């Protein structure tokens, strides 16, 4: 009885099962960071500080070659993380619904092989 065809089929099933069980290779490079917004009070006083707060935001990632690469969101805690290939990118904070405020400035960053680059994003709330 010939079963030579069975080996590749079993290998394919084992690969699919491993991928579904979470043993597939994990991304090893990208960008991660924190998003904050402030000021949060119209007047800050030493006896009544008003620190910046975590901010859930939409973030656009671009590269110089092809433009838009990815879009991600920070969580309610302000944290974000997205896998990217090594290279040079620009993180562009998006204002909600195209509004002028809150506003975050674009930031250039570089991703190295085997590492996550940390970027802190700050939104200006417009409160004065």
Residue 52: give its domain's CATH number: 2.60.40.10
Question: Under a CB-based contact definition with an 8 Å cutoff, are residues 27 and 70 in contact?
Answer: no
pLDDT tens digits, one per residue of 39-74: 998 887 777 788 999 999 999 999 978 788 999 999
- Residue 17 in any domain: the answer is no
Tokens of 75: 């969580």
**Do the domain assignments include residue 18?**
no
The predicted structure's pLDDT at residue 10 = 45
Whole-model pTM: value is 0.76
Cα distance from N-terminal residue to C-terminal residue, the chain? 82
**Per-residue pLDDT reduced to its tens digit, 72-113:** 999 999 999 999 999 999 999 999 987 899 999 999 999 999
pLDDT(3) > 80: no
Which residue(s) pair with 116 in the sheet? 30
Contact, 39 vs 52, CB < 8 A?
yes
Q: Is residue 19 part of a domain?
A: no
């Amino acid at each position: 009885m010939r079963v030579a065809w069975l080996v590749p089929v079993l290998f394919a099933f084992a690969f699919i099962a491993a991928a579904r069980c979470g043993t597939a290779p994990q991304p090893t490079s990208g960008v991660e960071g924190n998003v904050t917004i402030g000021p949060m009070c119209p007047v800050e006083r030493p006896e009544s500080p008003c620190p910046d707060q975590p901010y859930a935001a939409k973030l656009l990632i671009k590269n110089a070659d092809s433009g838009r690469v990815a879009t991600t969101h920070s969580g309610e805690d302000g944290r974000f993380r997205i896998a990217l290939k090594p290279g040079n990118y620009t993180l562009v904070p998006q204002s909600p619904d195209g509004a002028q405020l809150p506003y975050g400035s674009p930031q250039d960053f570089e991703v190295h092989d085997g590492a996550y680059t940390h970027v802190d994003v700050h939104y200006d709330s417009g409160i004065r």
